Each structure stands twice: as structure tokens, then as C-alpha cells.
Structure 1
């Protein structure tokens, strides 16, 4: 909950202190909400169709997708992030921090990417196209940031049509900076290898199978200082599974020693998200 609130506050600051005051459009659903708000802000519906409210409305079908494809816990936390983000956007006053559009574009992009990256790192999402991007990343290992950049081409074109070429350029800068920040925090396509030293290999491997749907290798080992027998578990995961792995180890052996390194290359069978889901749906023999 704390992470969700922090992410929402960062999002609200980005929108009301940098992007909206500078007439610069954000990535994804927030940017689309800004475009719709452009057409409604001078009408009788302006009080209803605020950028914050529109952001929440646009997220409804995507949250349904998250519930169907990404799990109940993920969906609940994402819904909390979206709700607080909408509230923050509505409640924060419109503040002109800078009149320099480049500063607004860069800082707005950094803050948006920071908020989004934090939520993804902790198994949540800030909503919008991030849900679709995260689903494709988990399923096929696609690059989250670059997918977001491609999807948001319509936002860049729309900003240019509504204002001018300069606005489109600064919107492009914002979206690019956002995608780079997301990739810096959450590079989900990268593989990690975890080495876990434990006295209860059976419990740890069972927890890993349940939470991650991952196999592992158990190696007999001996402590270099004490000489006591230990089990060394090796498991390869995607970076986005790191949080789940930490929970799996913590709940099965809180005293286990864990060392995690980045894997340069992985050969052989490595399950995709879809394969993991298929295995999870099959009855245990």
C-alpha cells in the first residue's frame, strides 16, 4: 500500500507540476486522458471529465485485463495505484514550476518513469498501457520501455495536431525519458540466477514451484567455516520474478542465505509466462 501511495504522489506531481502546465502530454492512458480533456475542458462536462477522472475511466477495461491475465493480487494493488493517481491528479493544484518546456518535459518524464518503474518492480502497475506492456513482457519477454514508446506514437501525433510541432517534440522527449526510466528500474527481460543456501531445501523448492512455477537444482554443499552440511539451490528467473522469489524464500526459510547474479545467457528450457500459467492450471498428479 505504501509503494502504491508513493507512486501515485509521484504521478500527481509529474502531471500537475510539469506536464499539464507545460501543455506536454504524458505517455499512455494519462496522455490519452489529456487529449480527451482538451476537448471537454471548455464544456459543461469539464468538472466531470477532468484528466484524473478520465485516467481512471480509461483504466477500467485494462484493469479487467489485469484481473483475467495477471492475477487478483496484482489487480487489486494496481487498482489502488490508479485510484490514488487519479485522486492526486485531481487534488494537486496546477503549479507552474518552470516556464522552460524542456525542463518540464524531462523532469515530467523522469517522475512518470520513476513512479511507473517502482510499481512494476514491486509487482504492481500504474495502470494504462503499462498493464498491456507488462503482460506482454511477462508472456514473451518483450522490452517494456520500447513497447510503451511504440504504443504512445498516437499521443505524440495527437499533441502535434492539437498544438504544434514543438509540443509534439517535447511530448516525444517526455515519453522517451519515461521509457528509459522504466527500463532502468524494471528490465524484466533480463535473466537472473539465484543461489540459495538453506537447511530446508524441500520447503524452499516447494515454495519456489508454487509462487514462481520454476524448477530448481539442489546441490549438496558444506559450510566453509563450520563444515556443516547445507543444501545449495540454484534457480534461474526473470528479473520481474525477483520480488516473488524473495517472498518464496522468506516464507519457507527466513534464515536462508541468498546470492543473486545477472545471467549473461541462458540456454535450454526456460519457461515463458504462458507456459508457467499452463503448468499451473494442470492438476497435480
Structure 2
């Protein structure tokens, strides 16, 4: 297939309201996410002595070692230099949203108490991982973060394309190595399980409603299929120039991006027109630009 491409339908006629940069939407995400994180840690992780990942995990470890101050306030103090870094190195908007989330997490941790009766440490680790991962994912869908390690991770990702997951992995490896000197091995293993689950749920939450399917359709009826994609799915598409290895003939390859709901309808459209069509589907984590999500700028 050659690299030549031409737009057939442009950006499409569909208007999508983008609220991702509105203040009220970001504050809603930050508040709800911070509440879920606070409950997951306070009601499940701390009662079982589990060490969460990131800076809150460091705060929890210091709390277990000293018992001088509760984890919420230790977390607050550890965030002060990190927020100064966010102000100068990321953006003022990112700083303000993250500051709000950090204050909200601290206050919610102090004021909200929900007793979740889980007796088994392993079950508590799993439940806490799901809750904190979901809450952290909601926060990271905003233009801010929960502070702590998120600040460094976002900066490294923006400047050097270092994956956020890699930053967490290195920091948490060092954190749990330090925990081995102070905590029982059973607690460390349960905490590792919790952190792994948290990371997985964060990724799933970040991709929620953003995952798309990239579809390539090779057919002699590509023009007819593309018209139905425009009319029935109200979705844009692009023709790529292909060259058959056996037939030695040029033909149009239709490329479009759809969600999971539209995929079966697109399959029906394709094979209704051409039973011999080749229908190729690829998963993609996110699609930005054109009529899809806007590029996220902190």
C-alpha cells in the first residue's frame, strides 16, 4: 500500500460539544475522583496496613513508621515542593487544578468516613486497587492531577515522552524496597497486588469512551461503502491508494475510525455491498483531532 492518501469526506458533518476545557467539568472530575480515591485508601488500604503507590504511598509508609501525623497531612506537606515544580515547569492551569485536587483529597480524607467491612487483607487490596485506580483515572481525565507523583510524570511525558506508567513503576519499586525493612512480607505482597490493579484500572478509566476502532476496507465497492458511512454512520473516512500484489491493479482502500457501537453497523454496510470485501479492524487507545477529541494541553 502506498503512502498517498486523500480525504474523501473531510471532517464530517457531525458537531460534537467539547466540554473538556470548561472549568466546571474539570472541577467535577477532580472532586468526584478525589472522593473515590480518599474512600478507597481510608476505608480499605489504611485499615489493613497496605502501602499505596506514589506519594500517598510514601506518606502512608511514613505514617506507619512514625505515627506522628496522619497520612492526609503528610501527603499535603510532601506535595509543597512538587507543586512549586508544577507552577514553573508545567503550567499555571495544571498547577491550580492539581492544587484543588490535592486540597480536596486531603479534606475529603479527613472528613469522609465510610466503613467498608472487608476482613481479608487480599480482598481489601483488590477492592482498594479498583477504587483508587478508578478515582485516579477520573482525576487524570481532567486538566489537572492529584498532585504528588502525577506532577513529575506529566512533566516527563510532555517534555520527553516518558510513559507515565514507567515513572510510577520506578518510584513504586523504590518505595516497596524501602517498605521491606519496616513491614511484613505479606503486607508488601498485598500492597503490590493493590498497586498493579490500580495501574490497570487507571489505564482502563483513561481509555473509557475514548477507545476507537481503525477499520480498513478493501473492496471493489469502496465508493458505495463510503457513501453509506457518511449517510448512515455520519462518520468521515479517507481513501488510501492500494496496489494489488496478485492483480497488479490499483484500487481504493477505505479507512475510517468508529466506536464499538458503530463497528457492527459498518460491518453490515460493507458486506451488504460486497460479500468478498476484506474488513480489517485495529484497536487504538485514543484518537485526537478532526471531529474527535481535542488534543489535551495542560
Per the shorter chain, which TM-score range? 0.5 to 0.7
Instruction: Tell me whether 1:37 sits opposite 2:57 in the alignment.
Output: no
Residue equivalent to 1:27: 53
Tell me the distance in 1 between the aligned counterparts of 2:178 and 2:132: 19
Displacement after TM superposition at 1:60 (Å): 1.0
What is the distance in 1 between the residues matched to 2:128 and 2:171?
19
The yes-or-no answer on 1:4 pairing with 2:30 is yes
Once the two structures are superposed, what CA deviation does each residue of 1:13-36 show, in whole Å capped at 9, x if it has no partner?
A: 111111001110111111111111
1:117 CA displacement: 1.5
What are the ranges of 5 or more consecutive residues in structure 2 without an aligned counterpart?
1-26, 214-229, 232-237, 239-284
User: How far apart are the structure 1 equivalents of 2:181 and 2:286?
Assistant: 37
Q: Tell me how far apart the structure 1 counterparts of residues 111 and 182 of structure 2 sit (CA, whole Å).
A: 25
Kept in 1, the 8 Å contact 2:29–2:141? The answer is: no
SS of equivalent to 1:98: coil
Provide the rounded CA distance (Å) in 2 between the counterparts of 1:25 and 1:95: 19
| Of 111, 116, 121, the match for 1:101 | 121
Q: Contact between 1:117 and 1:181, CA under 8 Å: does it hold in 2?
A: yes
1:51 equivalent in alignment to 2:64: no
| Paired residues of 2:37 and 2:135 also in contact (CA < 8 A) | yes
The count of aligned residue pairs is: 208
Q: Give 1:111 deviation, angstroms.
A: 1.6
| CA RMSD after TM alignment | 3.6
Are the equivalent residues in 1 in contact too, given 2:32–2:138 (CA < 8 A)?
A: no
Change (3 A) 1:36 1:120: same
Normalised to the residue count of structure 1, the TM-score between the two structures is 0.63
Which whole-Å CA distance do the structure 2 matches of 1:124 and 1:154 have between them? Answer: 25
Structure-2-length-normalised TM-score:
0.60
The 2-side partners of 1:68 and 1:241 are apart by 29
Which structure has the greater CA radius of gyration? Answer: 2
Gaps of 5+ in 1: 194-223, 226-231, 233-238, 246-256, 261-272, 278-285
**Conserved 8 A contact 2:34-2:136:** no
Matched, 1:258 2:291: yes
Alignment deviations for residues 96-149 of structure 1 (CA, whole Å, 9 cap, x no partner): 521111111111112222122222222211111111112112222222223212
Which of residues 123, 147, 160 in structure 2 aligns to 1:127?
A: 147
Secondary structure (helix, strand or coil) at the match of 1:21 reads helix
Moved over 4 A (4+): 190-193, 239-242
8 Å contact from structure 2 (residues 54, 172) kept in 1: yes
